[in-house]
Amino acid sequence: MKVQIDTTPALSFDSVSRAYDAGSGLRYALRDVSFDVEPGRRVAVVGRSGSGKSTLLHLAAGIDVPTEGVVRVRQRDLSALSEEARTMVRRDEIGLIFQFFYLMPHLPVAENVALPAMIAGEKPRTYRPRVRELLERVELADRALDPVQKLSGGEQQRVAICRALLRRPGLLLADEPTGNLDDENGRRVMNLMMDLVENEGATLVYVTHSREFASLADEVWELHSGKIGLPPRRSA
Amino acid sequence: MRSGSCTAARSVFRRAAPRDPPVAAFRVALLPLDIRAHLLVRYFTHSLGAQLRSGGSLYLLTVFGVALGVASVLSIQIVNYNALAAFEGTVRAVSGEAEISVFGKTPAFPERHYAEVLSVDGVAAAWPLYRVDVALADRDRFYLEVLGVDFFTPMRIPWRGDPDDVSAALAGDGWSAVTPALAARFGWAVGDTFEVHSGVRRVRLRVGAMVDFQELSPLASRKLVVMDIAQAQALMGRRGELHQIDVRTARGTDAEGVRRRLQDRLGPGMRVVTPGQRSEQAEGLLSAFRLNLSAMSLISLFVGLFLVYSSTQAGLIRRRMEFGLLRSLGATRTQVLALILGEVALLGALGVVLGLPLGYWAADANLEVVSATLTNLYLLEEISSLALPRWLYGLGAAIGMGGALAGALAPALDMSRRDTRALLSAVPLQERTESLVFRLFAAGAGILAATGLWYLGWGREWKHAGFVLCVALLIGLPLCAPFAIRQVCGRVRVRGFGPGYSLRGLSVRIRTASFAVASLAIAVSMLVGITLMIGSFRRTMEVWVNASIRADVYISPASWRGRGTAGTLEDELVEALASHPGVAAVDRLRGFPAWSGDRQIGLAGVDMQLPGGEVRFPLLDGNVDEAFRRVREDGAVLVGETLARGVNKWTGDEIAIAGPEGEVRFSVAGVYYDYHTGGGAVVMDLTTLEAFIGPGPVNGAALYLKSGWDGNAVVESLEARFSEAPLQIRSNRRLRDEVFRIFDQTFLVTRVLQGMSLLIAVCGIMLMLLVLVREQVTELALYRAVGARRGQVFGVFLGQGLGFGLLGLGLGLVGAVLLAGVLVFEINRAYFGWTIQVYWPWGPVLQQVAAILGAALLASLYPAMRASRTPAAELGRDDLMA
Mean of all residue pLDDT scores within chain A: 86
Residue of A87, A175, A176 with shortest CB distance to B784 = A87
pLDDT digits (tens, 9 = 90+) for B434-446: 568 889 999 999 9
The three-class DSSP label of residue B201 is strand
Would you state the pLDDT for residue B139? 82
What's the half-sphere exposure (Cβ side, CA atoms, 13 Å) at B609?
Answer: 9
Q: What is the mean pLDDT of residues B564-582?
A: 82
Query: What is the enclosing helix (H) or strand (E) of B220?
Result: none
Q: How many CB atoms lie within 10 A of CB B696?
A: 16
The residues, any chain, with a CB within 8 Å of residue B875's CB and separated by 6 or more, are A63, A98, A102, B778, B781, B782, B785
Residue of A61, A107, A121 with shortest CB distance to B785 = A61
- Most B CBs within 10 A among A83, A87, A162, A173, hence the mutation to make, goes to A87
Q: What is the mean pLDDT of residues B704-719?
A: 90
Query: What is the enclosing helix (H) or strand (E) of B318?
Result: helix B275-318
Mean of all residue pLDDT scores within chain B: 82
pLDDT digits (tens, 9 = 90+) for B727-759: 889 998 998 888 888 888 778 777 777 777 777
Determine the Cα–Cα distance for residues B362 and A25; give it in Å rounded to an integer.
55
Would you state the pLDDT for residue B429? 39
Determine the Cα–Cα distance for residues A74 and B6; give it in Å rounded to an integer.
42
Q: What is the mean pLDDT of residues B522-545?
A: 87
For residue A131, give the nearest of A204, A122, A193, A154 by alpha carbon: A122
The residues, any chain, with a CB within 8 Å of residue A190's CB and separated by 6 or more, are A177, A178, A213, A216
CB distance from A63 to chain B under 8 Å?
yes
Which residues are B125's β-sheet partners?
Answer: B248
Chain B positions touching A54 (Cβ under 8 A) are 876-877
Lowest average pLDDT, out of B168-177, B365-374, B819-828, goes to: B365-374
Determine the Cα–Cα distance for residues B526 and B473; give it in Å rounded to an integer.
11
Q: What percent of chain B has pLDDT over 90?
A: 21
Q: A131 vs chain B: nearest CA distance in angstroms?
A: 14
Q: What is the mean pLDDT of residues B811-820?
A: 92
Would you state the pLDDT for residue B881? 28
pLDDT digits (tens, 9 = 90+) for B4-16: 334 444 444 344 3
**Predicted confidence (pLDDT) at residue B238 exceeds the cutoff of 70:** yes
The residues, any chain, with a CB within 8 Å of residue B602's CB and separated by 6 or more, are B562, B591, B592, B593, B594, B640, B676, B678, B679, B680, B681, B682
Determine the Cα–Cα distance for residues B422 and B420; give it in Å rounded to an integer.
5
**What does residue A73 show for φ and ψ, rounded to 5 degrees?**
-115, 115
Which of A47-51, B42-46, B260-264, B537-541 is predicted most confidently? B260-264
Burial class (CB in 10 A: 0-12, 13-18, 19+), B33: exposed
For residue A68, give the nearest of A26, A5, A22 by alpha carbon: A26
Contact A119, B783 (CB under 8 A): yes
**Predicted confidence (pLDDT) at residue B882 exceeds the cutoff of 70:** no
Nearest C-alpha in A relative to B503: A106
CB distance from B505 to chain A under 8 Å?
yes
pLDDT digits (tens, 9 = 90+) for A25-74: 788 889 999 999 999 999 999 988 778 888 898 899 988 889 999 999 98
Cα dihedral B717→B723→B726→B729 (10° resolution): 10
Chain A positions touching B872 (Cβ under 8 A) are 61, 63, 87, 90
The terminus-to-terminus CA distance of chain B in angstroms comes to: 10
The terminus-to-terminus CA distance of chain A in angstroms comes to: 26
Helical segments of chain A, H only: 53-61, 83-93, 109-119, 124-137, 153-165, 183-200, 211-214
Helical segments of B648-729, H only: 686-693, 711-721
**Predicted confidence (pLDDT) at residue B50 exceeds the cutoff of 50:** yes
Contact B768, B867 (CB under 8 A): no
Residue of B508, B789, B792 with shortest CB distance to A106 = B508
User: Is the pTM for the entire model greater than 0.95?
Assistant: no
Residue of A87, A104, A111 with shortest CB distance to B787 = A87
Residues in chain A: 236
DSSP secondary structure string, B371-409?
Answer: HHHHHHHS------S----HHHHHHHHHHHHHHHHHHHH
Determine the Cα–Cα distance for residues B666 and B663; give it in Å rounded to an integer.
10
**Interfacial B residues in 852-871 facing A (CB < 8 Å):** 871
**Predicted confidence (pLDDT) at residue A105 exceeds the cutoff of 50:** yes
When comparing pLDDT for B713 and B568, which is higher? B713
pLDDT digits (tens, 9 = 90+) for B293-321: 777 777 777 777 777 777 777 777 777 77
When comparing pLDDT for B778 and B381, which is higher? B778
Chain B positions touching A99 (Cβ under 8 A) are 877
Alpha carbon distances (Å) from B523 to B307, B481, B728, B742, B836:
12, 13, 42, 26, 23
**Predicted confidence (pLDDT) at residue B878 exceeds the cutoff of 60:** no
Would you state the pLDDT for residue B278? 79
ipTM for this prediction: 0.79
Q: How many CB atoms lie within 10 A of CB B664?
A: 17
Q: What is the mean pLDDT of residues B695-705?
A: 89
Provide the pLDDT confidence category of residue A79 given band limits of 50, 70 and 90. Answer: confident
**Predicted confidence (pLDDT) at residue B20 exceeds the cutoff of 60:** no
Parallel, antiparallel or unpaired: strands B100-104 and B244-249: antiparallel
Would you state the pLDDT for residue B428? 44
pLDDT digits (tens, 9 = 90+) for B482-530: 999 988 988 888 888 888 888 888 887 787 788 878 888 888 888 888 8
Would you state the pLDDT for residue B626? 93
Determine the Cα–Cα distance for residues B837 and A116; give it in Å rounded to an integer.
56
Q: What is the mean pLDDT of residues A84-106?
A: 86
Would you state the pLDDT for residue B815? 93
Helices (H) and strands (E) in chain A, counts: 7, 10
Lowest average pLDDT, out of A15-24, B324-333, B494-503, goes to: B324-333
Would you state the pLDDT for residue B425? 52
Q: How many CB atoms lie within 10 A of CB B817?
A: 15
Contact B126, B114 (CB under 8 A): yes
**Predicted confidence (pLDDT) at residue B580 exceeds the cutoff of 70:** yes
Chain B positions touching A73 (Cβ under 8 A) are none
**What does residue A213 show for φ and ψ, rounded to 5 degrees?**
-75, -30
Chain A positions touching B779 (Cβ under 8 A) are 102, 104
